Amino acid sequence: MHKLFLLFLSLFMLSMETAAQKNITVMFYNVENFFDYTDDPKTQDEEYLPGSPKHWDEKKYGNKIKRIAQVIDSAVNGIALPDIIGVCEIENNGVLTDLISRSSLKSKSYTSLCSTGKDTRGINVGLIYDKNVFEFVTYKELDAIFPELPNNKTRNILCVALKFKATGEVLNVLVNHWPSRNDGEKETEPRRLHAALVLRNYVNELLKQNKEAKIIIMGDLNDTPKSKSVFNVLKANAKPDKEWGELLNPFLNLENRGEGTHIDNNEWHVFDNIILSTAFLQGKGLIFKPNDAFILKKDFVLFKNHSTGFIKPNRTFGGDKYFNGYSDHLAVYVRLSY
């Protein structure tokens, strides 16, 4: 009887501990060409204007807002919205403001930041966060343009420090969109290696200032967790060695299981990652637990070819044909507990 009592007591204490535990959700989403429908004379945004072959207009723009919001809203099973959302392929901060004010996202106290890079098409990266949960600390951008191709403009890396009000700790959130593979994987690899090196050098600076720095790297890296840029240069893997300055990439395990966020050469690969410093494994403040990394792969964001059975992301356009879908990438997110 005494042993039975102790067993029930242990189970009760465990349930109380679980109930008391809180968490936040951190998300990243390549929203695929989120442009407004007005001309920016400083960029080549003609593809997304009313007079273009895509006939991009106010109605399609409104549909895009609804689609993006639907994905974000579904990340935590419709119970709550993410606390931090990194995005890429956005034209400007105006589209983020519209996303927040004209969708279900307006129920949360979101604010946003957008990079000011030199990408020819004018696409940038951005960050949305709940200002009731986080306090803004600092902001900077890193130039990731490959020096040997100075005219091949790419997106800046957006670096935002946020203070988590519940614990007082500072999160360094680094939002990325590395150079694409459009000119060939091997041909463009040096551009991504350079972006990885720029990012790694900044991570080293943060860790030098504070070896327990909480760093969240997120983005469409246009490389997989196994690629040299991510695994070797950035030093991100599934079992990081803190003494060697390695980073935790929980999405490496998902890549190894054949999962993915994007179709490359007719194969699923994890191009979209959320990578963490080892301080999230220490048990102080916000921590990451195994299996708390996810790819949002719900039916509504997927398109199935009924003749072949092949499944791929349900995107907005295929060429100039309008599908009224979501994106050619799937969103990713992690849960951090405290």
> What pLDDT does 4 receive?
54
In a domain? residue 171: yes
- pLDDT for 230 equals 99
Strands 236-237 and 247-248: what pairing? parallel
Query: Which CATH number fits the domain that encloses residue 319?
Result: 3.60.10.10
pTM of the model: 0.93
- As given in the structure block, the two tokens for residue 7 are 């067993």
Predicted pLDDT at 254:
97
Short-list 12, 75, 83, 72, CA closest to 338: 83
Q: What is the token pair recorded at 35?
A: 């442009």
Question: Nearest-CA neighbor of 204 among 171, 170, 234, 169?
Answer: 234
- The answer to whether position 14 is within a domain reads no
Domain containing 225: what range?
23-337
**Residue 238 domain-assigned?**
yes
In a domain, 194, yes or no: yes
Total of domains in the chain? 1
pLDDT of residue 17: 43
192 lies in a domain? yes
Please check whether residue 318 lies inside any domain of the structure. yes
Asked if the structure places residue 13 within a domain, the reply is: no
Give the helix/strand (H/E) hosting 241. Answer: none
Supply the pLDDT for residue 118. 87
The series of mean pLDDT values per 10 residues for the chain, 338 residues long, is: 50 47 96 97 94 98 98 83 98 98 96 94 97 98 90 92 98 98 95 98 98 98 98 97 93 97 95 98 93 96 92 97 98 98
pLDDT at 11: 45
